[in-house]
């Protein structure tokens, strides 16, 4: 499978994931919030795929933002790993 095919599939998956996220009725702290956050995490992972596979050099600003988002959203799922600290370090190092 070519890079272009993977990108095309990732765009389709991204559109579906983003629609599911926006259509999810959960609100912060309410029932289903964890499930909605999992959709958001999948959405951000697809952004990472697209950043990694675009033509040319990797856009390091986008890569930094992708990683920050993934770590921030993942932090509540792995509270013992201090992922928010890693996310903050990624942003601080990019300034």
pLDDT, tens digit, for every residue of 55-88? 999 999 999 999 999 999 999 999 999 999 999 9
pLDDT score recorded for residue 94 = 67
Q: Mapping DSSP to helix (H, G, I), strand (E, B) and coil, where does residue 19 land? A: helix
pLDDT score recorded for residue 86 = 94
How far apart CA 9 and CA 45 sit, in angstroms, is 13
- Global pTM? 0.90
Q: Mapping DSSP to helix (H, G, I), strand (E, B) and coil, where does residue 57 land? A: coil
Both tokens assigned to 67: 């990683």
Give CA torsion, residues 19, 78, 30, 66, to 10 deg. Answer: -30
pLDDT of 95 > 80? The answer is no
63-51-14 Cα angle (round to 5): 120
């Amino acid at each position: 499978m070519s890079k272009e095919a993977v990108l095309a599939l990732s765009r389709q998956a991204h559109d579906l994931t983003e629609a599911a996220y926006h259509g999810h009725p959960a609100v912060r702290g309410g029932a289903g919030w964890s499930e909605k956050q999992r959709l958001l995490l999948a959405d951000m992972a697809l952004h990472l795929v697209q950043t990694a596979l675009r033509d040319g050099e990797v856009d390091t600003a986008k890569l930094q933002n992708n990683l920050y988002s993934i770590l921030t959203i993942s932090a509540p799922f792995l509270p013992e790993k201090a992922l928010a600290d890693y996310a903050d370090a990624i942003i601080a190092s990019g300034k």
